[in-house]
Amino acid sequence: METSYEQLCVADQRAVRAKIRSGSYCDHTSGLANGFLQANLVILDQSHALDFMRFCQRNPKPCPLVGVTDTGSPFIPTLGADIDIRSDIPSYHIYRHGVLDETVSDITALWDDQMVGFALGCSFTFEHALIRAGIKVWHIDNDRTVPMFKTNIKTIEAGPFSGPMVVSMRAIPQDKLDMVFAISAKFPMAHGTPIHWGDPAGIGIDDVNAPDWGDPAPVEDGEIAVFWACGVTPQAAILHAKPAISITHKPGQMLITDVAEDAGTPIATGAR
């Protein structure tokens, strides 16, 4: 039986994860699991693992590394005792030689003992704090996926991994911009403060109403488009690296962890 987004909005993080694992929920996770870190996912063959870890270390703003599996293990015990990255994300993108080949809800059949999984913090994590401060988040209020865009900001390459930074966008009341900076600064594991605000063309976005991933979101009078570095950035890097197989979350559909939303700092720290 399918579970609705409205039902999961009031569930704790373990209940949400259980519904995802059972296959009864396969949609976006924005607004779910209040108080807990959400994470992007990248799975690669171990032959690419060190280069990808270097890529995250060199680009900590879009790639805040919060967890890594042992080679061949689908578990990240530092993020939650019962997390299984083969089944605990609503939908997975499967890339073969850098081309998106299929989207599935479980990757158990694809898993092998040479794979390494990487969890990267997600900006969905701090949205609850924005809401608690009285700032509306349009895509949550309207059950949509946050808009995401490729930019003209280049990441620092590592081995075969390189490409543009990806950003997510939220429309923020102009008089709340300082508050939003102060709030998001408290979440270094979830991309921290915005990287750009105002004219999208300043970072190479031609049309803010035509996102590369997610759903369009309006920017109303009195609001300003605010852009955060996004954990979909590795998916753009995978298109360049073209590994034989790589697996990621479907943008907007995250791994929900048992880590408190405001805990600690990412494994790879620093500012780009």
pLDDT of 57-81, one tens digit each? 999 999 999 999 999 999 999 999 8
For residue range 131-160, what is the model confidence (pLDDT) as tens digits?
A: 999 999 999 999 999 999 999 999 999 999
CATH number given to 5-123+234-260:
3.40.1640.10
Contact 192, 122 (CB under 8 A): no
pLDDT of residue 261: 85
pLDDT of residue 123: 92
CA 214, 180, 182, 201 dihedral sign is positive
- Rounded to whole angstroms, the Cα distance separating 3 from 175 reads 38
Residue 19 above 60 pLDDT?
A: yes
pLDDT-derived band at 266 (thresholds 50, 70, 90) equals: low
- Residue matched to tokens 């990806």: 166
- Rounded to whole angstroms, the Cα distance separating 32 from 37 reads 10
Average pLDDT over every residue of 127-134:
94
Q: How high does pLDDT run on average in the chain?
A: 94
Domain ranges within the chain, ordered by starting residue: 5-123+234-260, 132-229
pLDDT-derived band at 272 (thresholds 50, 70, 90) equals: very low
Find all residues with CB under 8 Å of 263, minimum gap 6, and list them. 37, 189
Kindly state the greatest CA–CA separation across the chain: 53
Q: Which of 183, 264, 271, 193 is nearest to 227 (CA)?
A: 193
Average pLDDT over every residue of 227-238:
95
- Rounded to whole angstroms, the Cα distance separating 167 from 254 reads 16
Contact 191, 61 (CB under 8 A): yes
pLDDT-derived band at 265 (thresholds 50, 70, 90) equals: low
pLDDT of residue 264: 57
Average pLDDT over every residue of 186-205:
96
Cα angle 166, 48, 235 (rounded to 5 degrees) comes to 20
Contact 62, 155 (CB under 8 A): yes
- Domain 132-229, classified CATH 3.30.10.20, yes or no: no
Contact 242, 205 (CB under 8 A): no
Bridge partner residues of 226 (DSSP):
170, 197
pLDDT of residue 28: 95
pLDDT-derived band at 262 (thresholds 50, 70, 90) equals: confident
Residue 174 above 50 pLDDT?
A: yes
For residue range 180-192, what is the model confidence (pLDDT) as tens digits?
A: 999 999 999 899 9
Across 4-13, 150-159, 231-240, the highest mean pLDDT is recorded for 150-159
pLDDT-derived band at 268 (thresholds 50, 70, 90) equals: very low
- Rounded to whole angstroms, the Cα distance separating 91 from 255 reads 10
Residue 270 above 70 pLDDT?
A: no
pLDDT of residue 269: 36
Q: Do domains 5-123+234-260 and 132-229 have the same CATH topology?
A: no
pLDDT of residue 267: 56
* DSSP reduced 3-state for 74: coil
Reported as half-sphere exposure (CB side, CA atoms, 13 A), residue 110 has a value of 24
Which tokens go with 51?
A: 């280069």
Give me the percent of the chain exceeding a pLDDT of 70. 97
